[in-house]
Amino acid sequence: MHRVIAHLDMDAFFASVEQRDNPALRGKPVVVGAPPTQRGVVCAASYEARKFGVRSAMPSATAGRLCPKGVFVRPRMDRYKEESGFILKIMAETSAVIEPMSIDEAYLDLSARCQGEDADASLLLCVPIARQLKERIRSERGLTATIGIASNKLLAKIASDFEKPDGLTVVSERDKVQFLRPLPARVLATSRP
């Protein structure tokens, strides 16, 4: 049996939930975390805030200096957990074996559903499932997800980081060396499953 693993990663999850729930925040540089005038760190940053260099785990004061027009929002962990539950239910309907990794990412083992003539054909059979999953999350939850598909967890995780936000990347067995070759070595260190 050929292994087919998808890694689903929600795009700027906390910040995206805040932008969805409060339309006045859409298109603005949203920083979820402590305000820059208080001691604390950034939990999440919208893609608009990331353009200024704001990243998760960064001190809020630094984020405030980098992005002076950033809109700082206190985290609502109960809301994010609730939303994560809805997304997990959508994932479960794929009949995949699901391995949640955090509140906003999970591995889906689709091997039983996607078996083709060879490993690469098996990977390609899962592309429509991934597209449907992304579309359901968008239409039912108003959020976007990025998915990477490969023959193992490490490659699937790297693939999901490759084309964010709202991407879908397949790393074929035939092309995996060419896919990995130009990437910096730190990608392998930070993408452990």
CATH of domain 5-11+77-190: 3.30.70.270
Q: Is 41 helix (H, G, I), strand (E, B) or coil?
A: strand
Task: Note down pLDDT in tens along the chain; length 193 residues.
Answer: 899 999 999 999 999 999 999 999 999 999 999 999 999 999 999 999 999 999 999 999 999 999 999 999 999 999 999 999 999 999 999 999 999 999 999 999 999 988 889 988 999 999 999 999 999 999 999 999 999 999 999 999 999 998 899 999 999 989 988 888 888 777 766 766 6
Question: For residue 87, what is the enclosing H or E element?
Answer: helix 77-92
Residue 181 burial by CB count (10 A; 0-12/13-18/19+): exposed, middle or buried?
exposed
Tell me how far apart the alpha carbons of residues 105 and 121 are, in angstroms, rounded to a whole number.
Answer: 25
Q: Point out the catalytic residue in the list 105, 117, 140, 163.
A: 105
Domain range list for the chain:
5-11+77-190, 14-73
Q: Is 105 a catalytic residue?
A: yes
Residue with tokens 């976007």: 144
CATH class given for the domain over 14-73: alpha beta
pTM of the model: 0.91
pLDDT (tens digit per residue) in 85-121: 999 999 999 999 999 999 999 999 999 988 889 988 9
